[in-house]
Structure 1
Amino acid sequence: MSFLNQALSVALDRRQALLAELHAQGTDCYRLFHGSQEGAAGLTIDRYGPQLLIQSFHESLASDVVPGLIDTVQRHLGLELLPVYNDRSGGNSRIDRQDSVFQASEAALQDGVGHEGGLKYRVRARHAGQDPLLFLDLRNARSWVRQHSAGKSVLNLFAYTCGVGLSAAAGGAREVCNLDFAEGNLAVGRENGTLNPQLPPMQFIQSDYFPAIRQLAGLPVTARRGQKLPAYPRLLPRQYDLVLLDPPAWAKSAFGTVDLWRDYQSLLKPALLATAEDGVLICCNNLAKVPIDEWQEQVLRCAEKAGRPVREWQVIRPADDFPSLDNQPPLKTLVLQF
């Protein structure tokens, strides 16, 4: 057995109890191998319902390696899955995913349905975007939202494909608003809503984060220096009972720059002001080089300066399919209660 297959076998053995628990909860989307912490940096293996997604980020896998990984996973799970290998080690990996190493079947590249906590999610092993349609390390946060959203108004910022919004709707939220700049992301969010017709309908707003959140917070909308102010949807000031802020590591538009390393405060302050006085703000930072203690101190200090001191706070850590040997997982999630 190769070193890589041996490391994968150990990882799968470690997950036996967790996978049994997840299956009992109606969940079939999870990480099977977290290479950076389990012996092969730059390699991830995930299950998304019927699909098995293998991705390499540092270097391509050899053509004789992928079938062995697939066989190891399927033997441990006792399932036949639809495997896809995405090599993301090249600079053009976002748009150029060729099957030069492993030929995915036509069925594997079709849209599928994955499940989390009994909810249905659209899964797609390869698409025009860069990342899978459901971020698996946010599962515990989605579960928290589902358990604490009954009767509340919920604002899902940087909503992506609206998994948090769907969880809030399933938890009995009286109103769910998903906000994202990309219409393609929101289109998948609408698909997710359609896949779960038992849930109340959600709202969707396509907008750059800065004009939307500043309007909700009652702040003026401004453009970056030297930029002309583009058109944007007009929103009235209001606050939500539960707000989730999960920005990307970096992005730039005419309205401002998302930069989790240098300027998290510009994202956080208006989100604080759009959260109800006795509400909850869940904020995330997925930048691996940011230590959780430093970021947590920064968040609490920003809340104090904004006139929204935090009454209670807690950390939500990713589940055990995302192990962290140094207890510093890349995804950091804080629940702030006011």
Structure 2
Amino acid sequence: MSLSSASLVECLRQARERRAPLREDPRTTAYRLVNGAPEGVPDVTVDVFESLHVVSLYRDFSSEEEAALLGAMDSAWAPALVYLKRRPREARHLANVARDKLAPEEAVRGASVESVVALENGWRFLIRPAQGLSVGLYLDMRDTRAWLAGQVRGLTVLNLFSYTCGFGVAAHAGGARRVLNVDASRRVLDWGEENARLNGQLVERYDYVAGDVFDWLERLARKGETFDVVVADPPSFATTRTSRFSAAKDYASLAEACARVVVPGGRLVACCNLATLAPRRFEAMVAEGVARAGRRSRGGPSLGPSPVDFPASAEHPAALKVRVLELA
């Protein structure tokens, strides 16, 4: 690490103090504890789920640097359970061939566990720290999920790229009449069903659909099926047997396909976590796609991560962008 040991420990202690509003909230036990460079710890994030700490490294750290970071964490927080994720730029390409190196299944501190249950705004989510680089919940969406829950009572929701269905849980908790979750992976959809059951929500199997999102959007539009709210939260890059998606190149096409299944007066919640895509460019791509679908739109709130645990700076702006549009 570039910081001295004493400086690093102090940065980690200060990061924890900044999270006091979250640490003291009994309804939330899942939050980001360290958010990289804006907090003086570049290339490092730490996410907390109950007693579990998940450390992510965004460059190649030497074994000595890793040991120094873990030692500083011991001094600053004394975490009982720590898992390590190595995410260099090439991690996306290496994930299938070097998984043991990138995402060890064994804890680096404490006894390894299969899963923990963490709380977000009172909702329960199943976290699996040994399941690869992603453990089951993207914490920067916490505020957006809470917003969604307050908007959907009695409405229908289409949750695209649903992963473990965090937006689905929030929508059901908010009283949505129906939530259709679509993701390419049956495994994560099964995980999403587990999350729903954890929260006492009824699971209808036909509302957890495994398949290519673009194929399903085309199918829904062809059938004339529409939704009051469509949430699109794609990965920055995605490949299926039938399509390839790059947020930087293809978001307008995604927004166009989404707009075709939003009811008049309904809303499109467009999300993007690609750090290199500037907010203005992202918003322009969403607007372009909506216009290509022949829809007029009116801007709603611009949402994003909580500044409490996702602090940003001019040099390091927040990667997540969330744009809400009401479609005529």
TM-score, normalized by length of structure 1? Answer: 0.85
Contact 1:158 1:180 in 2 (8 A): yes
Alignment of 1:1-338 (within 5 A): 1-20=5-24, 23-24=25-26, 26-60=27-61, 61-74=65-78, 81-89=80-88, 91=91, 92=94, 95-97=99-101, 103-106=108-111, 108-127=112-131, 129-197=132-200, 199-202=201-204, 203-218=207-222, 236-320=223-307, 321-326=309-314, 328-338=317-327
In structure 1, what residue type is equivalent to 2:187? G
Secondary structure in structure 2 of the residue aligned to 1:130: coil
Per-residue CA deviation, residues 248-278 of structure 1 (Å, 9 max, x unaligned), is 1112234222111112111111111111111
Per-residue CA deviation, residues 272-316 of structure 1 (Å, 9 max, x unaligned), is: 111111111101111101111221123123322322111232200
1:64 Cα deviation from its structure 2 partner? 4.2
Alpha-carbon contact 2:22-2:28 (below 8 Å) kept:
no
User: Does 248-257 or 26-35 show the bigger shift?
Assistant: 248-257
Question: Percent of counterpart pairs with the same letter?
Answer: 28
Structure 1 pair 254/125, CA: closer, same or farther in 2 (3 Å)? Answer: closer
Moved more, 203-212 or 81-90: 81-90
Q: 1:239 to 1:101 in 2, by over 3 A?
A: closer
Question: Following TM superposition, by how much is the alpha carbon of 1:67 offset from its aligned partner in structure 2, in angstroms?
Answer: 3.3
- Specify the SS of the correspondent of 1:156: strand
1:52-110 per-residue CA deviation (whole Å, 9 max, x = no partner) reads: 11121212343243033144134xxxxx642222333475456114769973433x432
1:121–1:195 Cα contact (<8 Å) kept: yes
Give the distance between the partners of 1:304 and 1:87, measured in 2 at CA.
40
Q: 1:70 to 1:172 in 2, by over 3 A?
A: farther
Structure 1 position 36, deviation (Å):
3.0
AA partner of residue 37 (structure 1): P
Whether contact under 8 Å (1:66, 1:102) holds in the other structure is no
Note if contact 1:70-1:83 (Cα within 8 Å) is conserved in structure 2. Answer: no
Unaligned runs of 5+ in 1: 75-79, 219-235
In 1, Cα distance between equivalents of 2:105 and 2:262 = 49
Deviations 1:26-75 (A, max 9, x none): 0100000001322222211110123111121212343243033144134x
Change (3 A) 1:304 1:93: closer
Q: Is the 8 A contact 2:256 2:291 kept in 1?
A: no
Deviations 1:212-260 (A, max 9, x none): 1111122xxxxxxxxxxxxxxxxx4300111100111112234222111
Distance in 2 separating the partners of 1:100 and 1:264: 34
- Mapped partners of 1:36, 1:200: distance in 2: 42
Q: Is the 8 A contact 2:29 2:118 kept in 1?
A: yes
Q: Which AA in structure 1 matches 2:11?
A: A
Within 1, Cα distance between the matches of 2:105 and 2:71?
Answer: 14
CA distance in 1, matches of 2:297, 2:152: 19
> Could you tell me how far apart the structure 2 residues matched to 1:69 and 1:29 are?
18
Change (3 A) 1:210 1:164: same
Q: Any idea what SS the aligned residue of 2:150 has?
A: helix
Measure how far apart 1:18 and its partner are.
Answer: 4.3
Distance across 2 between alignment mates of 1:292 and 1:18: 27
TM-score w.r.t. length of structure 2: 0.87
The alpha-carbon distance between structure 1 residues 157 and 101, as it changes in their structure 2 partners (threshold 3 A), is closer
RMSD: 2.2
In structure 1, what is the Cα distance between the partners aligned to 2:46 and 2:57?
Answer: 9
Gaps of 5+ in 2: none
For 1:101 and 1:214, locate their aligned partners in 2 and report how far apart those are by CA, in whole Å: 42
Normalized per residue, the structure richer in helix is 2
